[in-house]
Structure 1
Amino acid sequence: MTDHIEAILFDMGGTLRGSIQRDEASKLRMVSRIIDLLGAEASPDEFAELLTARATEYGRWARESRTELNEGELWTKWMLPDWPADKIGEIAVSLNQHWREATGERTIFPETRDVVLALFRSGYRLGLVSNTVSSVEVPRELRQLELSGCFETVILSCVVGLRKPDPAILLEATRRMGVKPERCAYIGDRLNRDVQAAREANFAKVVILRDPETFAAHQSNHPDLISDHYVDNLRELLDIFPARPNSKISSPVLDASLSTMWAKKNFPTLPDFFEATRRLGFARIELNHQVDSAMLAGIDLGKYQFSSVHEPCPADISTEELKNRDWLISSPDGDKRKRGVEAIKRSIDLAQERSASIIIVHCGNASADLTLEKRLRMFFEAGITETDEYRDLKQSLIESRAAIIGPRFKAVKESLLELLAYAGQFHIRLGLENRYHYFDIPTPDEMGELLALASPDQLGFIYDVGHAEVMQRLGFFSHEIWLQRFADRISGVHLHDVCGLNDHYAPGLGDVDFQRVASQLPRDAFRTCELQGFNSTEQIKNGLQVLIETGCIKLS
């Protein structure tokens, strides 16, 4: 019986993917890339022999010590200890991937994606724990499969410093997932690593995928290690683990939404994203401008709650195409402006159908030319903001924007009046968002003028935390000015963190002061976590804890 199994954790190599050894010529071509990366002069044959011997020595030590090193430590201490450590450390990940490619071609099993999805949809919580010397392969492969969001935790030995058969690495996974080991099953391919670790971690069940070419010899070497089940294909897991009788995994309900921004490349379908959103504890969903009609087709949207719609959703004409054609509400060309208005009206229609109360509106731009701003951002990243060149470039941006904003800002006001009349029929509010680029509309002064067009119950301010932070770091507007001037008009907030000038990170991964943010948020403003797809499920879960602890969101 598997009724008590709540979570299934997978191994990677030999379980979800296989490996084929490279032929000698291919291996030497890969080794030549390592030599080129090092700027060395060496024979590929001799260098390959050297690296093979050192990798073998490291593998023996790692197995005996049950320890795994990260790429930097591996290459500075074991693989190339006779090279300058600072140089090797900087390129260790690249060196490691070239060597991994030299030693084998790794391919996902054809059935992997379907089986993982079936188990996720059957109500099981999923995790992954793998012995590996690469910190980048597994995350990349899960993204390629559009499965990243299905896994609550991904633990790699080279990241945590532990390796199977040490049960501590499996127990770390259960700790992060908040599940008892005795309610977990582990799927692997090695008796001496996977069965032993799972037994010592007190997992309820172990399943071993047999390699037809090597398993008999492997089993004879470990006769005392016995799995609960042996399978020859991952599809057999669906017989061992039928749909859970009560597959609705309970989670605390947070008075917040998650944007579909995170769905991209993390899930194959929106319903899978919706289920992950519910498991994370979000009460609602924000449909963002990456969702088109095809993605929504065939879904019973009545099963879900939506707080808001971010235009232009449905994005049957993408945001990039709208910008490239200047089909924006800021266009002084009447026909183009009308196209922008119609795109937002389609979002209003969708919001009305889905009982979402607010539309997030981008007000267009003064210009789509980002040449000067890109240069300014390059200076910032290089740490040279306190220079005359930086100040002169910033002043050029300010003057350029001032010279061209007039007719485009007039078009925005005209467009908003049309949209307010249209949205008013459905009692839907428009929310104007502060933006990420300086040439985008509005500035704080422009926001004040636009909000004066209508009452708060018709028109509000969408406070994007990350955008406000980036504009402050570039030196254009203080973060605080948005809160000082418009806190009483905040209809909703987009919560995400910022690293340098890069935003949409899970809270806690950057350095935004979320306590300051929380102190200014109206109680009735909706909260949306607007996070890019590169954030893992675990990072989002940790980010939610940051938002709860700082008071940005509350349990409903």
Structure 2
Amino acid sequence: MDQNKRYKAVFFDLGGTLRIALLEEPYMKHARRKMAEIAGSSVPYEEFYQMIEARYEPYRKWALGENKESGDEELWCKWLLPDYDQTRVKQVCHELSFQYRQCKGRRVVVDGGVEVIKGLHARGYKLGIISNLIGENEVPDWLEEDGLDQYFDSVILSSVCHLRKPCAEIYKIACADLGVAPEDCVSVADNVKRDLAGAIEAGIGANILFESPEKKHPVVFTEETRPDAVVKDFREILDLLPPLC
């Protein structure tokens, strides 16, 4: 990274970056049961979950292919539960999205994450989140519950703006939301193909790649997706971004 450059804002990816998923089976099993209960399923909850998994695949293929994301109501009414009571589905769609994500693991802030957030905020940086995920309420609720909402000036979710990374437009929306030019921003993320490609196309000033503990394979770069810095410990980000004043 250019140590002479004074960046003004930092954007964090969520999954695999600022938050990681702990694969705790009792927690995930409870979420599967809860999801079926909320939907009013008449089949065993594990069978219901497998049905949702099968129906999610065509949705995921569409979302990845178009770089788009449905909001909760469209996701559950159009894609996942079109044959269920639509009045009920509309009423519980936000909770269904939350429980479906919990079926994949219990999400916690990465080790050092809170320290970095508070540290960068204290150094004068504007902070934002740019994340691909289903569910409109989970992230705002988590930030408020953990007392982290006060540190973030912008939270851009694919489920709300209906665009997914690597679409460059989602970064431009986030920059405009912060009132900061893309070249004055830093992106912290873990996915080369999704995060780095979109940020580079959008003109983000610097890209920090976090070698996430969730990654099972070595990260491979190309000239088009080479980050400006790589960190293995999240706290190393503080070494790269000095105080603004």
How does the TM-score come out when normalised to structure 1?
0.42
Q: In structure 2, the residue corresponding to 1:138 is in which secondary structure?
A: helix
The answer to whether 1:231 aligns with 2:231 is yes
The answer to whether 1:9 aligns with 2:6 is no
Residue in 1 that maps onto 2:22: 20
Mapped contact 1:22–1:105 kept (Cα < 8 A): yes
Residue in 2 that maps onto 1:86: 87
Structure-2 change in CA distance of 1:227 and 1:72 (3 Å)? same
Distance in structure 1 (CA, Å) of the matches to 2:29 and 2:120: 40
Q: In structure 2, the residue corresponding to 1:72 is in which secondary structure?
A: helix
Mapped contact 2:27–2:105 kept (Cα < 8 A): no
Mapped contact 1:127–1:154 kept (Cα < 8 A): yes
Mapped contact 1:28–1:48 kept (Cα < 8 A): no
Tell which has more relative contact order, 1 or 2 (C-alpha 8 A, sep 6+). Answer: 2
Tell me by how many angstroms 1:143 deviates: 1.9
Residue in 2 that maps onto 1:47: 48
How does the TM-score come out when normalised to structure 2?
0.92
Distance in structure 2 (CA, Å) of the matches to 1:41 and 1:111: 43
Mapped contact 2:31–2:103 kept (Cα < 8 A): yes
Greater radius of gyration (CA): 1
Per-residue CA distance 1:492-527 (angstroms, 9 max, x = gap): xxxxxxxxxxxxxxxxxxxxxxxxxxxxxxxxxxxx
Per-residue CA distance 1:351-380 (angstroms, 9 max, x = gap): xxxxxxxxxxxxxxxxxxxxxxxxxxxxxx
Structure-2 change in CA distance of 1:144 and 1:33 (3 Å)? closer
Residue in 2 that maps onto 1:468: none
| Aligned pairs for 1:432-451 within 5 A | none
| Aligned pairs for 1:494-509 within 5 A | none
| Aligned pairs for 1:53-202 within 5 A | 53-202=54-203
Mapped contact 2:16–2:213 kept (Cα < 8 A): no
Distance in structure 2 (CA, Å) of the matches to 1:39 and 1:13: 29
Distance in structure 1 (CA, Å) of the matches to 2:87 and 2:223: 46
Q: In structure 2, the residue corresponding to 1:9 is in which secondary structure?
A: strand
Per-residue CA distance 1:61-117 (angstroms, 9 max, x = gap): 111110011111111111111123232111101111121112211111231111111
Amino acid at match of 1:198: A
Amino acid at match of 2:236: E
Distance in structure 2 (CA, Å) of the matches to 1:74 and 1:218: 32
Tell me by how many angstroms 1:166 deviates: 0.2
Q: In structure 2, the residue corresponding to 1:242 is in which secondary structure?
A: coil
| Aligned pairs for 1:272-351 within 5 A | none
Mapped contact 1:68–1:161 kept (Cα < 8 A): yes
Distance in structure 1 (CA, Å) of the matches to 2:4 and 2:69: 33
Residue in 2 that maps onto 1:462: none
Mapped contact 1:133–1:158 kept (Cα < 8 A): yes
Amino acid at match of 2:114: R
Tell me by how many angstroms 1:213 deviates: 5.8
Tell me by how many angstroms 1:44 deviates: 2.0
Q: In structure 2, the residue corresponding to 1:91 is in which secondary structure?
A: helix
Tell me by how many angstroms 1:218 deviates: 4.4
Runs of 4+ off more than 4 Å: none
Q: Which runs of 5+ in 2 are unaligned?
A: none
Residue in 2 that maps onto 1:242: 242
Distance in structure 2 (CA, Å) of the matches to 1:194 and 1:62: 16
Mapped contact 1:22–1:102 kept (Cα < 8 A): no
Per-residue CA distance 1:269-321 (angstroms, 9 max, x = gap): xxxxxxxxxxxxxxxxxxxxxxxxxxxxxxxxxxxxxxxxxxxxxxxxxxxxx
Tell me by how many angstroms 1:225 deviates: 1.9
Mapped contact 2:187–2:199 kept (Cα < 8 A): yes
Amino acid at match of 1:225: T
Distance in structure 2 (CA, Å) of the matches to 1:180 and 1:105: 35
Mapped contact 2:197–2:224 kept (Cα < 8 A): no
| Aligned pairs for 1:348-359 within 5 A | none
Q: In structure 2, the residue corresponding to 1:199 is in which secondary structure?
A: helix
Residue in 2 that maps onto 1:262: none
| Aligned pairs for 1:385-534 within 5 A | none
Structure-2 change in CA distance of 1:2 and 1:90 (3 Å)? farther
What is the Cα-based RMSD across aligned positions, in Å?
A: 1.9
Per-residue CA distance 1:459-493 (angstroms, 9 max, x = gap): xxxxxxxxxxxxxxxxxxxxxxxxxxxxxxxxxxx
Instruction: Give identity over the alignment, percent.
Output: 30
Q: In structure 1, the residue corresponding to 2:156 is in which secondary structure?
A: strand
Q: In structure 1, the residue corresponding to 2:167 is in which secondary structure?
A: coil
Q: In structure 2, the residue corresponding to 1:206 is in which secondary structure?
A: strand
Amino acid at match of 2:159: C
Per-residue CA distance 1:245-265 (angstroms, 9 max, x = gap): xx3xxxxxxxxxxxxxxxxxx
Structure-2 change in CA distance of 1:111 and 1:213 (3 Å)? closer
Distance in structure 1 (CA, Å) of the matches to 2:214 and 2:70: 30
Q: In structure 1, the residue corresponding to 2:225 is in which secondary structure?
A: coil
Q: Which runs of 5+ in 1 are unaligned?
A: 248-556
Distance in structure 2 (CA, Å) of the matches to 1:149 and 1:79: 34
